[in-house]
Structure 1
Amino acid sequence: MSQQFDFGMVGLGVMGRNFILNVTDHGFSAIGLDTDLAKANALEEEGAGKPVKGTTAKEEFIAALKKPRKIMLLVPAGGPVDAVIDSFLPLLDKGDLIIDGGNSFFADTNRRETYLSAKGIHFMGIGVSGGSHGARFGPSIMPGGDAEAYEMIKPILEAVSAKVNGDPCVAYLGAGSSGNYVKMVHNGIEYGLMQLISEAYDVLKRGVGLSNDALHELFSGWNAGRLQSFLVEITAHIFSVNDTLTDQKLVDMILDQAKQKGTGKWTSQNAMDLGIPVPTIDMAVTLRELSALKPERVAAEKIYGPAQAINEDAVTLAAAVEQALYFSFIATYAQGMAQLTDASNEYKYGLNLETVARIWRGGCIIRAAMLENFRQAYQNNPALPNLLLDADLASSLQVAQAGLRKVVAAAVSSGIPVPAMSASLAYFDAYRSARLPLNLVQAQRDFFGSHTYERTDRTGIFHTDWAE
């Protein structure tokens, strides 16, 4: 059996098992390793008739792989990744490849690449998006790191990835931790889009009383238009699902406290470290944190009262909400793409934003029809610093901003929180302002801290004794 399999997977949970079965669907043999015998057996049962094996013995796993070995880890981020790597090292040969396919923090990926490179072992951090269904039938894959190593795994990744018009949704992205970084920002954008959709839902349900059935029809219609996307599609479906324990729709029976695994927070934190504004993503993270304060929110509503209905025709407001979502979606992608642009320069990743937009068009959670527009924008101008500066997108944003302003104004007047929509609008208004009031902030800083300032009429650094 030794050196029989083309590909190895460590971690046979739903994602790992589905990914390895996807590999075997495309003509490659694979072996999976897990400490849980039931998971190893489940792989063999589900893969009956395919060139696949499950095992709980790492020695057997390593010995059964063709050289140079290609091993992918889908285990929890952090310590477990390091533990698996260290346990494998005595059994590996120079030239073997380890791939971290989990949501690892990009700085950890840099550390692991340096550590393994010194031992002659190739290492790559690869972002994988699409959930369990995507892992089984075609995810979006974001590989970064050792360019030589990518050629070793490229045939397998291209085979298993999602396809858009026959084009695989995978491409080598760049050096170092670029793959994990791009996946991190992907997840930050995901946070923003999900929060925006939840605000649209809140405005329409709490604001003008649309039923779940009406919301299902509305979102289904939007998904057939310019808002076509995975997240809008599944949202439409969610509104139609009945609860098996009551006579209600399931969405109404779910507690309004959202959890998070940290990748959205990492996006915000690193954006702040780099000085990159991503306010929609920031607010999406903040609202998940605010949602956890359920007892306090209940107490506060008793003091201040609930939000009021929006005094607007439902059909008219729904049309404005569609514009608001379209505008805010673009603003969110623009923030994430701008972060990738700046981070690529800072960390010397060498990212191509047209490539990023291209591989996000299929398989991943943030896949959407508008990504093709973004791909074209970067194809037309590879040096585009922000999607808001693309002429074609600008023309559609000029029209859609009216709907966003209407929705934000109506929601604010009624006390319905729309922080991500408000942040998207504020980001746009600040970005398009040739002059901002930060001259006053500079004056204040110089007044209390002698931090100096620059002038509009001459070059140099200046300080004023403001008290005199």
Structure 2
Amino acid sequence: MISKQKQRIGMVGLGRMGANMARRLQRGGVQVVVYNRHTETSTELAKETGVLAADSLNALVKALPTPRALWLMLPAGDATESHLNELLPMLSPGDILINGANAFYEDSIAQAKRAEAVQVHYMDAGVSGGVWGLQEGYALMVGGDAAAVAQAKPFLEILAPGADKGWLHCGPVGSGHFVKMVHNGIEYGMMQALAEGFAILQGKTEFALDLAKVAEMWRYGSVVRSWLLDLTADTLKKDQVLADIAPVVADSGEGLWTAQAALALKIPAPVITLALQMRWASQGRDDYAAKLLAMMRNEFGGHAVQKEI
């Protein structure tokens, strides 16, 4: 395990999550060395927080004491693979590589085999907390062998809401990203249910319901109270009409992976699957089907068809 005198970690990828995780680690007493493809991002963060900015992956690796610890916060797919290709030849046996970004768990298992071939420990860490993680801490779902987790424990304890809460060694490599995948699938379903419920309340216009007050009341004592409800209440306090918000909801990929896993396991997951499909519908992916449905009604019943303006 890395001694307290030498606690230092490399953070690769400074998007919203990566940058805030670097901030939290630095505040927690760890010296963070950061690298980002756009080096001005690293430089600005160094000026703000005292992290050390590396202008290349090689410089980052050289700035870390052995056994090194590197945390990747990169988009799944090509970005992560290209950085792994570059990093693995630079690392030494006993170093630890943690993939903390959203990733498909089977990809993590394959990446771990590549790392283990050069005696580098690999961990997959599902991270939840969003923009609130800097202040509140991050929920961490970790996969890897016990030795790797022990090596990373000082960093996990700082990033989590507490040293003894909000993080879990889920099991072997792949389990962390698998648990995070299902977590996000559940999140899709919870968000969809809240959104539909408030849409129904808003549609009952004769009651003139104050949705902000309803949401605020539900936060206390109700069985649907949750952090998502807290965020919904905050949103509705600011704006109940949402006239300036486009009805388009992106999907990160985790919901799709969860639905695919459910199908492969033959486990019914209709709520998660339908919530994912509703996000696709919001992105215009059901437009052709809706148009065809309108034409079917016109053909069999003579129902009017609305034209695009």
TM over 0.5: yes
Which residue does 1:168 correspond to in 2? 165
Per the alignment, in what secondary structure is the counterpart of residue 70 of structure 2? strand
Equivalent AA in structure 2 for residue 224 of structure 1: Y
User: Secondary structure of 1:168's partner?
Assistant: coil
Hey, what does 1:221 align to over in structure 2?
217
**Counterpart in the other structure of 1:14:** 16
Name whichever structure is richer in strand by fraction. 2
Aligned to 1:101: 100
Alpha-carbon distance, 1:35 to partner: 1.6
The one of 175, 178, 181 aligned to 1:181: 178
Q: Kindly indicate whether residue 161 of structure 2 is the aligned counterpart of residue 193 of structure 1.
A: no
1:287 and 2:286 matched: no
* Structure 2 residue 62 is the aligned partner of structure 1 residue 30: no
Using the alignment, how far apart are the partners of 2:13 and 2:69 within structure 1? 14
- Identify the residue that residue 71 of structure 1 maps to in structure 2: 70
Q: Secondary structure at the match of 1:171?
A: strand
Q: Quote the Cα distance in structure 1 between the aligned partners of 2:271 and 2:245.
A: 24
Given that 1:188 and 1:264 are in contact with CA atoms closer than 8 Å, whether structure 2 keeps it comes out as yes
- 2:243 aligns with 252
Once the two structures are superposed, residues 365-390 of structure 1 have per-residue CA deviations (whole angstroms, 9 ceiling, x without a partner) of xxxxxxxxxxxxxxxxxxxxxxxxxx
Q: 1:88 to 1:200 in 2, by over 3 A?
A: same
Letter of the structure 2 residue corresponding to residue 176 of structure 1: V
Stretches of structure 1 lacking an aligned partner (at least 5 in a row)? 243-248, 305-468
| 8 Å contact from structure 2 (residues 124, 174) kept in 1 | yes
CA distance change for structure 1 residues 182 and 135 in 2, over 3 Å: closer, same or farther?
farther
Q: Check conservation: 1:128, 1:139, Cα contact below 8 A.
A: yes
C-alpha contact 1:137 1:160 (8 A) present in aligned 2: no
Distance (Å, rounded) in 2 between the aligned partners of 1:136 and 1:168: 15
Q: Contact between 1:4 and 1:64, CA under 8 Å: does it hold in 2?
A: no
1:19/1:203 Cα in 2 relative to 1: closer, same or farther (>3 Å)?
Answer: same
How far has the Cα of 1:215 moved from its partner? 0.6
Aligned-pair distance for 1:172? Answer: 0.9
Q: How far apart are 1:209 and its partner, in Å? A: 5.4
Q: 1:206 to 1:106 in 2, by over 3 A?
A: same
Q: How does 1:316-331 map to 2 (within 5 A)?
A: none
Alignment correspondent of 1:142? 141
Aligned-residue offset at 1:302 = 10
Q: Is the 8 A contact 1:22 1:137 kept in 2?
A: no
Alignment of 1:385-400 (within 5 A): none
In the TM superposition, residue 71 of structure 1 has moved relative to its aligned partner by: 0.2
1:151-188 CA distances to partner (integer Å, 9 max, x unpaired)?
A: 0011211122113xx74211211012000000000000
- One-letter amino acid of the structure 2 residue matched with residue 29 of structure 1: Q
Cα pair 1:216 1:236 within 8 Å, conserved:
yes
Deviating more after overlay: 285-294 vs 125-134? 285-294
Contact 1:137 1:162 in 2 (8 A): yes
- Aligned Cα root-mean-square deviation (Å): 2.4
Contact 1:238-1:251 at 8 Å conserved across structures: no
Q: Do the aligned residues in 1 keep the contact of 2:122 with 2:173 (CA within 8 Å)? A: no
Distance 1:209 1:292 in 2: 31
3-state DSSP of counterpart to 2:243: helix
* Residue identity in the other structure for 2:129: G
**TM-score (normalised: structure 2):** 0.87
Q: Which moved more, 1:182-191 or 1:272-281?
A: 272-281
What secondary structure, in the 3-state scheme, does the structure 1 residue paired with 2:248 have? coil
Aligned to 2:261: 270
Distance 1:256 1:210 in 2: 24
- Aligned equivalents of 1:302, 1:205: Cα separation in 2: 30
Query: Is 2:129 aligned against 1:130?
Result: yes
Aligned to 2:301: none
State the one-letter code of the partner of 1:180. H
For normalisation by structure 1, the TM-score amounts to: 0.59
Which secondary structure state, in structure 2, belongs to the residue aligned with residue 162 of structure 1? coil
Measured in 1, the distance between the counterparts of 2:224 and 2:58 equals: 50
- Cα distance per residue 1:88-134 (max 9 Å; x no partner): 12211011011000110011011011111111010011000010221
Aligned partner of 1:204 among 193, 198, 201: 201
Superimposed CA distance per residue, residues 34-93 of structure 1 (whole angstroms, 9 cap, x where no aligned partner): 12122111211220xx4x212222121101111100000001011111111110122110
Residues 127 and 223 from structure 1, CA distance in 2 versus in 1: closer, same or farther, beyond 3 angstroms? same
Q: Deviations over 1:300-348 (max 9, x none)?
A: 68997xxxxxxxxxxxxxxxxxxxxxxxxxxxxxxxxxxxxxxxxxxxx
Distance, in Å, in 2 between the alignment partners of 1:139 and 1:301 is: 46
Map Cα deviations across residues 240-295 of structure 1 (whole Å, 9 max, x no partner): 224xxxxxx56233222222121101101111001111111011012112223375
Q: Share of identical aligned residues, percent? A: 32
Which residue among 244, 248, 261 is the counterpart of 2:252? 261
Structure 1 residues 291-330: aligned runs within 5 Å: 291-293=282-284, 295=287, 297=290
Q: Distance in 1 between matches of 2:35 and 2:292?
A: 50
Task: Name the SS of the counterpart of 1:193 in structure 2.
Answer: helix
Shift of residue 29, structure 1, vs aligned partner: 1.0
Instruction: Give the match for residue 56 of structure 1.
Output: 55
